[in-house]
Chain A
Amino acid sequence: MLHIVNKSPQEKNCLDACLGVATDGAAVLLIEDAVYAATTGHPAAAKLEQAQSRLKLYVLRPDLEARGMADRLIAAVTAVDYGGFVDLAAEHTCQSWL
């Protein structure tokens, strides 16, 4: 399963909800405002670091770059471009945490 999260974790609980439901081995992709979760100093970053042993974590690079956060990406999360997003979606059934 590919879980797609697009909300800032300081605005909505979608990331927490997703991490609670995602089973071991699942992929999680952060897009749009969810990309802030994967940046240094953000309270959600610690949660992602904790989850990295059981989940594959990705962030959409163009959304990170658009928000001026590209240089603050944490090591637990892998940046992908839209092509990488397509590859992940092709590989898994998708659930969007709207």
Chain B
Amino acid sequence: MKFGILVNEGPYQHQSADSAYLFCKAALEKGHEIHRVFFYHDGVNNASRLTEPPQDDRNIVKRWTQLAEEHGIDLVVCVAAALRRGIKEENLAAGFRISGLGQLVETGIEADRVVTFGD
């Protein structure tokens, strides 16, 4: 099955980025496909490569990058939401791309399911 994932909150502040990541990992382990992870609202902060968590904490941004590299997952950051919050090409982490909101609607059309994580 093809899953589309919507992440509406930034990393660390709220658990939703962790829940979304663990859902993606479990779905992939079960042989499902992640069609796209779309980052909206403060969720765009998941894509900041300037993030530097303490050594003993999980690195949420890096985890997304690795997931994209290992499984070829499309990580899309909403351009309007990103510009509002200072996320641009120059501070975008590897594996992410910035695109329009239409990509979220497209995921709704192309994926079998959309699961939303937020606050």
Q: Determine whether the beta carbon of A90 is less than 8 Å from that of B19.
A: no
Q: How many residues of B contact A (CB 8 A)?
A: 22
Q: Across the interface, which residues of A come within 8 angstroms of B30, CB to CB?
A: 83, 86-87
Interface 1/0s, chain B 1-22, versus A by CB < 8 A? Answer: 1010000100000011001001
Would you call B59 an interface residue if the criterion is a C-beta within 8 Å of the partner chain's C-beta atoms?
no
Shortest CB-to-CB span from B14 to chain A, Å, is 8
Interface 1/0s, chain B 81-119, versus A by CB < 8 A? Answer: 000000000000000000000000000000011111111
Q: Across the interface, which residues of A come within 8 angstroms of B114, CB to CB?
A: 94
Would you call B26 an interface residue if the criterion is a C-beta within 8 Å of the partner chain's C-beta atoms?
yes
Q: Determine whether the beta carbon of B22 is less than 8 Å from that of A82.
A: yes
- In the bound complex, what is the Cα–Cα distance between A94 and B114 (angstroms)? 7
Would you call B27 an interface residue if the criterion is a C-beta within 8 Å of the partner chain's C-beta atoms?
yes
A32 closest partner in B (C-beta): B15
Q: Determine whether the beta carbon of B113 is less than 8 Å from that of A83.
A: no
Given A82-B23, A86-B26, A86-B27, the answer on whether A6 and B116 have CB atoms closer than 8 Å is no
Would you call B25 an interface residue if the criterion is a C-beta within 8 Å of the partner chain's C-beta atoms?
yes
Would you call B58 an interface residue if the criterion is a C-beta within 8 Å of the partner chain's C-beta atoms?
no
Q: Determine whether the beta carbon of A94 is less than 8 Å from that of B19.
A: no
Per a CB cutoff under 8 Å, which of B3, B25, B116 touches A82? B25
Shortest CB-to-CB span from B112 to chain A, Å, is 8
List A residues at the B interface (Cβ < 8 Å).
4, 6, 31-33, 62, 81-83, 85-87, 89-90, 93-94, 96, 98
- Beyond A6-B16, A83-B29, A96-B117, 13 extra complex contacts between A and B, CB < 8 Å: A4-B116, A6-B19, A83-B26, A83-B30, A85-B23, A86-B23, A86-B26, A86-B32, A87-B30, A89-B3, A98-B116, A98-B118, A98-B119
What are 5 A-B interface contacts by the 8 Å CB criterion?
A31-B19, A32-B19, A85-B26, A86-B30, A93-B113
